[in-house]
Chain A
Amino acid sequence: MDIYLDHAASTPVREEVVQEMMPWLSMHPGNPSGSHRLAREARRAIDDARDHVASLVGAEPGNVIFTSGGTESDNLAIDGILGLKGGKALCSATEHPAVLEPVRESGGIVAPTDKTGRVDLESLSNLLDSFADISLISVMMANNETGVINNINTIADLISEKAPEIMIHTDAVQATSWLDIAESSKKAHLISLTGHKFGGPKGAGALVLREGVKLSPVIRGGGQERERRSGTQNVPAIVGLGEAARLMQIERPKINERVTELRDKLENGLIDKIAGTSRTLPKETPRTPGIAHLCFENIENEALLFLLENQGIYASAASSCASGAQEASHVLQAMGVDLKTAGGSIRFSLGQATTDEEIEHAVTVVPDAVDQLREFQK
């Protein structure tokens, strides 16, 4: 039995999404920028998808920029605003590298977080007082490793009170399955998301702008996406992204309820059965339902993941580098978790496809694997 508990890395593509995409892979040759009928068909397909994404985020369809995914959306938000307005970008220390790297590279500011990995409002306020040239602040809605949730609207209130001219970007990639994005990103100016984290295909994402927000393009060429992202659109993937967005808007409350129950069952089961196991985040921390992030005392996560894989359980630790090796987590580091504890942490991430049987099986298998490793240490 294959038990996929790595939905935060990528989700399976939903069957309904595959069905919507198929004709655009096999039958329709048109380029959406063209003028004849076949081109117009493709154009209509991506504009339908655009409507679905706009509705999900509570934005105007004309403000949805299709990209290749979360990383490109984040890069476009940061480089696009800095390119137009100049100044500095600021982000939190627990951001995804897709935000951290462009912020660092452009000489921006990385703000500390509290022990849960959330933006610390007091330090943010101090940084706003110390730097007059900040033009963009990027804060993720939900963290990809721990699932901890930042309240973007509260952060936006603080920022607009002190410096209303600052643009606020939120990487909502990990939040799309779990939060009402329209409401949670109401006060943000730019919102990143990507299809493959909520049942869509890899290779299609979006950067959504609030009305009136302007940026300079990063990819230049034929002027697609209203001059903001050139290049022929990936029609089948965008169609899939649109369908996934449509389904998510309808089904989110139901999925949330079910997955929360499964996540709690997994966490409680493993904590009960395995001595020295704890939640990385306190239980009551605002966090998405999809992630059970646990620390196992005296365990090396690389070894545990290996044994779990042999038992058909696929999870992950922090993030992987280009070589495929597990890297020390910059998120846990920013939270002040010591290296040894962090080295024994595992992220089990659940999704719409996760079943009750899978969680029950995981709760019986993981303890045996931990036992095997601890037995050897003796």
Chain B
Amino acid sequence: MTRVMVAMSGGVDSSVAAALSCENGDEVVGVTLKLWGGDSDSGCCSVSDVDDARRVADSLGIEHHVFNLGDDFDEHVVAPYVEAHSLGLTPNPCIECNRHIKFDRLMNRAKSLGFEKIVTGHHARIVKQKDDTFRIARAVDEAKDQSYVLYMLNQSQISSLHLPVGEMTKDQVREKADSLGFRVATKPDSQDVCFITREKGRADFLGQRIPLTPGRVVDESGSEVGRVEAIELVTVGQRRGMLLAGGKEPRYANNIDIESATVTVGTPDQLLVEQTEFRNTLWAANEINGEFLVQTSAHGKPKLANIEDNVLTWNEAHSIVASGQSLVFYEDNQVVGGAIAV
């Protein structure tokens, strides 16, 4: 019997992951993380999500604990998110949460408490290679695949992890939850950033933490074509909200210069690049060079590129990748590594 800790968010996926662990005969304890003490879409301190997780654990007859990792979350996820915006970068807080909270703090906590594995409800799979190393692979339900946000996992982490719902489609997950009578069976998928409410939004969240600077919008020739209220809120690739006057073709932000508070926009053609530089590369097992599929956002379509010395050379010109975004390298449907776009 394996002693496993299931990270239960109160959503349907991790609830079913807990149920499957029980059916598997594991000794299961459920844990919900209290990460954010402010407003969220599920109430202060996400109380209703914790309630959902607790009630699912109750119905499975397993113990349920709440761990408060709020300070770590502030330090490793929220503060860097705010700082990235102030620098004109595009952060991915879910990836930082996985990197620092779920698969570092929580995994270490679980091991120190005598658990052999942690289980999460991520839609991804773990595949063993011929050389006995492991890789994260895309989920059976490709539309729900979350392998992108798990690229940072190393061999030790993957070997301590179990991802039972990665083998199921979302419909199957919901059916399973329904058949078990879980109150979360029809709960909507979580959207966006968990510490920013739909009602108040990103501008309000950042505006309370950093000064927001009005900026100019210029075209390639340098002539002003619009204004933005806050340069810190503009993302490379963005089209809306830049008050562009006239212009026949749609234009997109392709450069953000925080110092001069200037956004440069261009036509879709002007957004294309041949190469993308990257930093902070991590490999699932060994470093590899060569041609891979590269995904540049959580739900982006992967494109072929050649990887060499911290530079991707795209087989076909690719839309510019916002600085700060994660690049994840796939061999077929398996993650071999990832990095952060410069």
Contacts and interface: CB of A to CB of B under 8 A. Distances in A.
Interface of A: 300, 302-303, 306-307, 321-328, 339, 372-373, 376-377
A9 to B, nearest CB: 16
B50 to A, nearest CB: 4
B14 to A, nearest CB: 16
Contacts of A300: 109
Given A303-B113, A372-B114, A325 B44 contact: no
B66 A323 contact: yes
B39 to A, nearest CB: 14
Interface of B: 32, 34, 44-47, 50, 54, 65-68, 70-71, 108-109, 111-114
Contact of A321 (B32, B45, B111): B45
A90 to B, nearest CB: 27
Nearest to B32: A323
A323 B50 contact: yes
14 contacts: A302-B109, A307-B114, A321-B34, A322-B44, A323-B34, A323-B47, A323-B50, A323-B66, A325-B45, A325-B66, A325-B70, A328-B71, A376-B111, A376-B112
Contact of B112 (A321, A323, A373): A373
A325 B114 contact: no
B68 A325 contact: yes
Contacts of A306: 65, 113
A322 B68 contact: no
Given A302-B67, A302-B68, A306-B65, A323 B111 contact: no
A325 B70 CA distance: 10
B65 to A, nearest CB: 6
A322 B47 contact: yes
A303 B109 contact: yes
Q: Interface on chain B toward A: helix, strand, loop, or mixed SS? A: helix
Contact of A324 (B44, B54, B113): B54
Contacts of A323: 32, 34, 45-47, 50, 66
A323 B71 CA distance: 16
Nearest to B105: A300
A326 B68 contact: yes
Nearest to B29: A306
Indicate the member of A307, A322, A328, A339 with the most B CB atoms within 10 Å: A322
Given A321-B34, A323-B34, A327-B68, 18 more contacts: A303-B112, A306-B65, A307-B113, A307-B114, A322-B44, A322-B45, A322-B47, A323-B32, A323-B45, A323-B46, A323-B47, A325-B68, A325-B70, A328-B71, A372-B112, A373-B112, A376-B111, A377-B112
**A-B pairs with the 7 shortest C-beta distances?**
A325-B34, A325-B68, A376-B112, A324-B66, A325-B66, A323-B50, A323-B45
A26 B32 CA distance: 40
B167 to A, nearest CB: 30
Contacts of A372: 112, 114
Indicate the member of A307, A325, A373 with the most B CB atoms within 10 Å: A325
Contacts of A302: 67-68, 109
A324 B32 CA distance: 10
A166 B47 CA distance: 39
Contacts of A376: 108, 111-112
A323 B32 CA distance: 9
Contacts of B112: 303, 372-373, 376-377
Indicate the member of B50, B68, B70 with the most A CB atoms within 10 Å: B68
B154 to A, nearest CB: 19
A302 B67 CA distance: 7
Nearest to B108: A376
B67 A325 contact: yes
A324 B108 CA distance: 21
A138 B34 CA distance: 32
A321 B32 CA distance: 14
Contacts of B68: 302, 325-327
Contacts of A377: 112
Nearest to B35: A325
A300 to B, nearest CB: 8
A305 to B, nearest CB: 9
A365 to B, nearest CB: 15
Contacts of B67: 302, 325
Contacts of B44: 322
Contacts of A328: 71
A321 B65 CA distance: 13
A103 B38 CA distance: 22
A376 B66 CA distance: 21
A36 to B, nearest CB: 43
